[in-house]
Structure 1
C-alpha cells in the first residue's frame, strides 16, 4: 500500500499544528500544576491542623478519579454552575487539577525524605520556618524529586490525547480527522502520532537523565 499521499505536506502541517496545541496545553498545564502541586505538597508536609488533612482527602479523591472524568467535568459540568471555559482552557483546567494532585504527592514524599535534622539545624541557626524550607529543606528534596516529576510530566503530555473527547485540536484529534477522511491513512497516521509523541517524550526523558546525572555529580 502506498502511504506517500498520507504524508503529504498538507497532512504533515496539520499534524504539526496539532502537535503545537499539544505542547501549548502541556506547557501551560505543567506551569500551573507545578505551582499548585508544590503548594499542596508543602501544605500536606507541614501538617497544618485540620487544613492539611482536608487538602489531603481532596487530593486523594482526585488522584483516584479517571482523568477523562475530570475533563468531562471541566467542559460539560462547569458551565452548569456558571463557569464557561473554551476547549483549550477546559483541557488545561482538567490536566492541571489532575496533575497537581499527582505532583503534590511527589513533593510531599520528597520533603518527607529529607532528614528532620535538616529542619532542626536551620531553625537552630535563627532562620524562620519558611526560610529553612526555602533554603535548606526544599532544595535537597527537589533534587531527589526530579526523575519522578519529569516522569509525571511525560505522562501529562501523553494524557493530552484524552482531550480529543472534547475536540481539542491537538495531535490525536488532527490525526483522527485525516484518517477519518481516508481509511487508508489509519496506519500512516498512527505511525506519525507514534513518532511525534516518542520524540517529545524521549527528549524529556533525556532531560531527566541529564538532571539526574548532575544531581549525583554534586
Structure 2
C-alpha cells in the first residue's frame, strides 16, 4: 500500500491521460460512426459499398492490430504522430465501425413512413436524415452506444500496453 500512496501523483496523472484518450476517441468514433451510418443508408450505391467495406473490415480486425498499425506502420510512411495521437486515431478508426452499426440499427428502427413524409414535403436526403431520422433514432441507440463506449474504455488498456 505504501507503493501506491507514494506514487499517487503518477497514478492520477495516468488516470487523467486515460480519461482524455477515452473522451477524444469516443467523440471522433461517434462522429465517424454517424457519417458511416448515413453512407450505409445513402441512395448512392458507391457510398453504401464503401461504408459497408469499411465497417465489415474494421469490425473483423483485432484492436491490437489496428493500434499496432497506427503506432508503428504510419510513421514508416511519413505520418508521424505522438503516442497519444496515434492511440486516439487507432481507437477512433476501430470503434467508428461499431458506432456506425449501432447508429444504423437505430435508423432502421424508424418507420419508413417518416422517410416518406420527409420526402413528400420536399426534403433532400441529407436534411431528412439530419432533421427527421437521426433525432428519432438516437433514443433507440443509447443502449448499444453505451455498450460500445464500455468496450472502447476497455480497449484503452490495450493502447497503454503499447506505450
TM above 0.5, one fold? yes
State yes or no: 1:115 paired with 2:115: no
The within-5 A match list for 1:51-200 is: 51-167=47-163
What is the alpha-carbon distance in structure 2 between the residues aligned to residue 160 and residue 74 of structure 1? Answer: 14
State yes or no: 1:23 paired with 2:19: yes
State yes or no: 1:12 paired with 2:46: no
Q: Normalising to structure 2: TM-score of the pair? A: 0.94
Q: Which runs of 5+ in 2 are unaligned?
A: none
Task: Confirm or deny: 8 A CA contact 2:37 2:51 kept in the other structure.
Answer: no
Which residue is equivalent to 1:41? Answer: 37
Q: CA deviation at 1:94?
A: 0.5
Q: CA deviation at 1:12?
A: 2.1
**Aligned pairs, number:** 163
User: Could you list the per-position Cα deviations for residues 114-142 of structure 1 after superposition, in whole angstroms to 9, with x for gaps in the alignment?
Assistant: 11111101221233322222222111111
Task: Confirm or deny: 8 A CA contact 1:37 1:101 kept in the other structure.
Answer: yes
| Matched position secondary structure for 2:45 | coil
Q: Normalising to structure 1: TM-score of the pair? A: 0.71
Give structure 1 regions of 4+ aligned residues with deviation exceeding 3 angstroms.
none
Q: Which runs of 5+ in 1 are unaligned?
A: 168-218
Which residue is equivalent to 1:208? Answer: none
What is the alpha-carbon distance in structure 2 between the residues aligned to residue 130 and residue 50 of structure 1? Answer: 16
What is the alpha-carbon distance in structure 1 between the residues aligned to residue 107 and residue 48 of structure 2? Answer: 15
Two-structure CA RMSD over aligned residues (Å): 1.3
What is the alpha-carbon distance in structure 2 between the residues aligned to residue 104 and residue 82 of structure 1? Answer: 29
Task: Confirm or deny: 8 A CA contact 2:71 2:83 kept in the other structure.
Answer: yes
Larger Rg: 1
What is the alpha-carbon distance in structure 2 between the residues aligned to residue 104 and residue 31 of structure 1? Answer: 13
Task: Confirm or deny: 8 A CA contact 1:47 1:53 kept in the other structure.
Answer: no
What is the alpha-carbon distance in structure 1 between the residues aligned to residue 61 and residue 124 of structure 2? Answer: 38
| Matched position secondary structure for 1:46 | coil
What is the alpha-carbon distance in structure 2 between the residues aligned to residue 60 and residue 112 of structure 1? Answer: 18
Task: Confirm or deny: 8 A CA contact 1:95 1:156 kept in the other structure.
Answer: yes
